[in-house]
């Protein structure tokens, strides 16, 4: 794999770019998504070793094919990744993305079985879209290429490629939790088998935490009767390994964000505006898994139990629009907005309002400013594969102060034990945690933050990518040796 002439094919449902059109001019902008910045910083920081000769990113296009053709006619090369969009027919994509991916797999894998929809039609589209990805990849795959597939939208894909190209090196990473078998078994038997067979097409299957690996191995055993030893499985004459790779962040990007005039001005404006108020901050995509309504109940309970804090605190709640076609997302939005308005109605005075709610995206620098000016971050998902917001907040604290309140049900809780860990369903626990955070002395804040930052700096995103490639390389070499012996 690492012979400097091999190519890397990165596969994810979403492409890491936006293609916009103004007048007759089409322009491309790289998005700020976690995965793209992870890979970019890895390639920047390892530029001299130049592991791969080319990097090609394949994903579904959210723009029309004709716009892409016009863009390509005028632009060649120059970017970190060569982009290969896949054009999936709209109806099929809708059944796949809003159906099987986000109305079946997403709720189930996040322990929301009652939100899970079961439809043979959407599973069929899931198979078809995975097949379209497979055809696209096979059409550009060359001997010696490495394929790295990402996330739950593409779990059938490793098996589909393996069937046609037994020799290729395939890595897969799951960015969401792999649930316990008692949850996984709720999928129809045929779907379960297809998913397990699909994943076993990879040489290496990565997860964020030890539990997710165990749940996966347990599900393999109970679905198809295949046992494992030291996280390795023998499947169709090949070794398949499941391993832990907790996703990190680009620590320096957050910690060393320069104080540009824009940033300075915004910081000052926020500090002037909120004056002596202590700021609690949270930001999430609008998703029922993020526990926003439970979080609001926790904050309300805090105001009830600790009246001395009223008029001395503000909760800035930023919710980013997401998956708006799915009814459960719209319902959640209504629930959040009703709750915000009820709590504000109950506690506001003429001079003070407890919650500042914003339903919109934040620019990177705005987010960084909020991470820096908040006294505490309140990050309480009901389930989360990892949760990078928790890591970004801690990394941004240049003064090494501030307190992180984190759900014990987020993957990040395994590494961030210096946070105040809470069960997000217990509003009393959340209320006490807020009071603990706001009352914490500076020395303790620093002690906790220094430990958090040390770990984030070490287990950063470059490390994450590098350890995945190292493991994949070792397995690929072992497979090849086993074949030649
Ligand atoms: O956490 C899983 C994930 O797929 C992320 O990779 C992504 O940022 C997020 O969910 C949002 O997904 P979508 O592409 O559906 O907006």
Q: How far is the CA of 341 from the centre of ligand 1 (A)?
A: 28
Categorize the per-residue pLDDT at 369 as very low, low, confident or very high, splitting at 50, 70 and 90: very high
Mean pLDDT for 381-396 is 97
8 Å CB contact between 299 and 430 = yes
Lowest mean pLDDT, pick from 26-35, 84-93, 203-212? 26-35
Residue 8 bridge partners (DSSP): 55, 146
Q: Is the pLDDT of residue 379 over 60?
A: yes
pLDDT computed for residue 78 by the predictor: 65
How far is the C-alpha of 251 from the C-alpha of 412, rounded, in Å? 15
Mean pLDDT for 104-133 is 98
Mutational pocket test of ligand 1: of 96, 153, 322, the residue with most ligand atoms within 8 Å of the beta carbon: 322
Residue 14, ligand 1, Cβ within 6 A: yes
ipTM of the complex: 0.96
Return mean pLDDT, the chain. 94
**Residue 301, token pair as written in the block:** 């309970």
Vertex 177 angle, CA 113 and 467, to 5° = 170
Q: Is the pLDDT of residue 454 over 80?
A: yes
Vertex 228 angle, CA 469 and 203, to 5° = 25
H or E element that contains 222: helix 210-224
Vertex 12 angle, CA 325 and 171, to 5° = 140
Q: What percent of the chain clears pLDDT 70, i.e. is strictly above it?
A: 97
Mean pLDDT for 173-198 is 98
How far is the C-alpha of 119 from the C-alpha of 108, rounded, in Å? 14
pLDDT computed for residue 275 by the predictor: 84
Measuring CA to CA, which residue among 430, 428, 410, 411 is closest to residue 420? Answer: 430
Residue 381, ligand 1, Cβ within 6 A: no
How far is the C-alpha of 461 from the C-alpha of 417, rounded, in Å? 19
Q: Is the pLDDT of residue 50 over 80?
A: no
Q: Is the pLDDT of residue 102 over 90?
A: yes
Residue with CA nearest ligand 1 atom 16? 322
Lowest mean pLDDT, pick from 2-6, 291-295, 307-311, 413-417? 2-6
Categorize the per-residue pLDDT at 370 as very low, low, confident or very high, splitting at 50, 70 and 90: very high
Tens digits of per-residue pLDDT, 224-242? 999 999 999 999 999 999 9
Mean pLDDT for 439-457 is 98
Output the 3-class SS for 38-102. Answer: HHHHHHHHCCCCCCCCEEEEEEECCCCHHHHHHHHHHCCCCCCCEEEEECCCHHHHHHHHHHHHH
């Amino acid at each position: 794999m690492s012979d400097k002439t091999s190519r890397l094919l990165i596969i994810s449902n979403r492409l890491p770019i936006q293609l916009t059109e103004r007048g007759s001019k089409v322009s491309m902008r790289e998005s700020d998504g976690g995965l793209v910045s992870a890979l970019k910083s890895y390639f920047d920081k390892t530029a001299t070793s130049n592991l791969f000769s080319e990097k090609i990113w394949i994903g579904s296009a959210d723009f029309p094919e004709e716009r892409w053709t016009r863009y390509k006619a005028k632009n060649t090369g120059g970017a970190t990744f060569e982009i290969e969009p896949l054009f999936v027919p709209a109806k099929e994509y809708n059944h796949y993305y809003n159906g099987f991916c986000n109305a079946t797999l997403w709720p189930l894998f996040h322990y929301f079985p009652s939100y899970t929809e079961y439809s043979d039609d959407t599973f069929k589209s899931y198979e078809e879209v995975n097949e379209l990805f497979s055809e696209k990849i096979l059409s550009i795959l060359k001997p010696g290429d490495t394929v790295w597939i990402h996330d739950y939208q593409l779990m059938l894909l490793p098996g589909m490629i393996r069937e046609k190209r037994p020799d290729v090196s395939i890595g897969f990473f799951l960015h969401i939790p792999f649930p316990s078998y008692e949850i996984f078994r709720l999928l129809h038997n045929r779907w379960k088998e297809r998913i397990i067979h699909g994943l076993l097409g990879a040489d290496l299957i990565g997860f964020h935490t030890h539990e997710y690996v165990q749940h996966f191995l347990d599900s393999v055993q109970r679905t198809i009767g295949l046992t494992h030893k030291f996280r390795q499985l023998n499947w169709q004459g090949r070794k398949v390994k499941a391993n832990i790779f907790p996703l990190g962040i680009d620590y320096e990007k957050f910690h060393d964000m320069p104080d540009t005039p824009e940033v300075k001005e915004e910081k000052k404006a926020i500090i002037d505006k909120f004056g002596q108020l202590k700021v609690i901050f949270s930001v999430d995509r609008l998703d029922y898994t993020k526990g926003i309504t439970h979080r609001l109940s926790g904050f309300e309970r805090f105001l009830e139990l600790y009246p001395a804090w009223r008029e001395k605190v503000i909760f800035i709640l930023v919710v980013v629009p997401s998956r708006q076609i799915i009814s459960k997302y719209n319902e959640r939005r209504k629930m959040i907005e009703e709750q915000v308005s009820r709590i504000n109605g109950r506690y506001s005075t003429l001079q003070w309002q407890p919650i500042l709610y914003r339903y919109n995206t934040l620019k990177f620098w705005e987010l960084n400013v909020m991470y820096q000016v908040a006294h505490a971050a309140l990050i309480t998902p009901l389930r989360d594969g990892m949760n990078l917001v928790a890591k970004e907040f801690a990394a941004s604290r240049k003064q090494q102060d501030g307190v992180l309140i984190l759900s014990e049900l987020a993957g990040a809780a395994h590494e961030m034990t210096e946070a105040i860990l809470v069960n997000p369903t217990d509003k009393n626990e959340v209320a006490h945690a807020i009071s603990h955070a706001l009352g914490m002395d500076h020395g303790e804040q620093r002690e906790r933050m220094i430990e958090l930052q040390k770990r984030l700096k070490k287990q950063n995103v470059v490390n994450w990518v590098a350890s995945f490639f190292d493991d994949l390389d070792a397995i690929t070499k072992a497979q090849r040796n086993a074949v030649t012996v």
